[in-house]
Structure 1
Amino acid sequence: MKIGIEILPNTSSLVKLELEYVLGDNFKIDAFSNDFLFVETGDLTETIVRLFIFSRTVSRVYLVLDVFDLENKDDLYKHALNIDWVSLFSPNLSFAVVPESNTIDRVVIGKLVGQGIVDNFKKNTGTRPKVDLKNPDISILARIQDKTCILGIDITGFDLNDIHDIISRLAILASNWSKEHRFAEVLHSGICESAYELYNFIPLKERIVDTTYVNLNIVDQERVIKLLTKQWQDTIFNVACYDPNPLDIEYKYPITSRDLDALEKDKVDNICSNLVAVTPSKNQQATTIVRLVNLIIKNEDWTTGTIICRTELMNTVPKIRTEKIVDINIRGIPSTILRIGRD
């Protein structure tokens, strides 16, 4: 079986960097679209658990059951009927089909796939699971892109990461980060906490408890428990944050909190700042960009980093080298992740 992951559009290159760190070398990625990737791996259980407890770039995780060329609408029923749903979840659980398509009516997709699932259960067990469109135990993805269809189970059941968590992690990944770098966030928005998790391999174990995955028949519970109780962290890496009000910030982790002016002389290699989160208004952000750059160029050690700013301001960053990595939408604000370096 393949794993499907839902991501922010056009961020696959950054997501791959995180997966290489989180999953190691034993996986292969194929793009289905600009916001959906297939992950093939030799160890399904460990890959799923690692995604749940370590990834900050993925919004949803799916167990991909079938990928096929769609010649006509009846193929939806036929392929759904031929999947061994009984081996995946109990008929005592409710389900709903979540259709995604720009070419076929979503109601039609839901009815055809749903009927295939029901008929499969009736054929093999004599019973049928209940359909619950509002609050299902199991959500079945039926996504059609061009003439290709994916059928799969949403094994998260909720957004694994919100937009803020995803953006914070993408900022780090876009910065040419390395564990050898002395990392700092400038103007606190949460990037430093994400960096601490990444640098120190902090598992977010509690996230797996409420996932749909734990309700599936295929779960190797003993293996999952073993992975959750594993000691992942071995060395503590320091992460710093520079802010004009360092004493007012309550950090989730033991972040080194420093006054903004200390950045001029402290030894820092990698600097990241999310100005859209800190100063969302255009005029205020334009002023902050100039102030931020004037501050960091005084530091003689920094070499790389990222700035997240409004897209309309991306060409106003002075005195340093910038490279657009990706455009993103942050709560309705067209924004850009810029990689920065010394000019």
Structure 2
Amino acid sequence: MKVSAQNLHAFCVQALTQVGVGEPDARTAADVLVTTDTWGTFTHGTKALRAYIRRLRGGGLKKKGVPKVASEGPAWAMVDGDSSLGMVSSVFAMNLAMAKAATAGIAFAGLRNNCHYGAAGYYAAMAIEKNMIGFSMANDIPTVNAPGARGSVMGRNPFGFAAPAGNEKPILLDMATSTVAGGKVFAAAALGKTIPGQWLLDANAKPTTDPTLFSHAASLTPLGGYKGYGIAFMIEVLSAILTGAAIRRQVLSWTFSDASKPTGHGAAFIAINIASFRPVEQFKQRMDQMIREIRASEKADGADRIYLPGEMEWERREKALIEGIDLPEDVAASLRGLAEDLNLDFDRFLR
């Protein structure tokens, strides 16, 4: 199913405002979710809107929540998300980090009392227009195995990084610290497909290709084994232990838990003001140089191209903004289900 980014954005705004979210916050959330879909990262885009609205209607997310600064210094801040939409509180926190970095050179903003915030890369990418380098990370409920363990030990704990370039496209990294994001496993289950054997471990820590076992009877494998496990631990420290957010099993599932309760997620954002360290144009020229050197590297047999981090996403976005977003079946089904929940005419937005 194909829909324009503009119409999909309008649907998200209408759905959110209909359940009581103010229009500015609804537009912020829609910006994050629709941008994510234009990147082709459908597991973290508008597909999640139905679950967010379930929590808004249940009270676990506050329709009129207002993120606020709990404490701060010249180059740091701690933000209380007030159980508002994760996209709203995270945009607030990243904007705060960038504002402080503009004068301090580098700044950290921690966020507690948050919820699932969608794609980590969105918040990191906010730094690009400010000629800054951005980092974003968050914790989640344990769904990922650790080497030697049976069952889940850490969350998928996503990480985002973005840096501007000159004539080349900006660099954008958005990744889970599991081998794949859990959303890809849920998507495979919804479509009745099997998955690669390296994605999941069953209750006995043995590889399985059955996505329906996740997450009640299977755990995701950590990215690169102990390396992904270690990075996930680092993210838990920065986004939860340091910020005062819920830790590991204290975090509630944003999709399956009691919708009347806050999930307690934490997040962390870092902004680096390039101009504080060297001339911005010099930095961008050096970025372009490295990008071009990598692209010109000798290609393996059968490879047509060497992609830079984020290059696929930017190209998909350019195409989606012109031709429309081609939504996968599971995303379309979720949006149609939401429209039925709210008595909205989803087909009207396809015209």
User: Would you call these one fold, judging by a TM-score over 0.5?
Assistant: no
More helix by share: 2
Q: RCO higher in 1 or 2 (8 Å CA, sep ≥ 6)? A: 2
Normalised to the residue count of structure 1, the TM-score between the two structures is: 0.26
Instruction: Looking at secondary structure, tell me which structure has more strand per residue.
Output: 1
Work out which of the two has the higher radius of gyration on C-alpha atoms and give 1 or 2.
Answer: 1
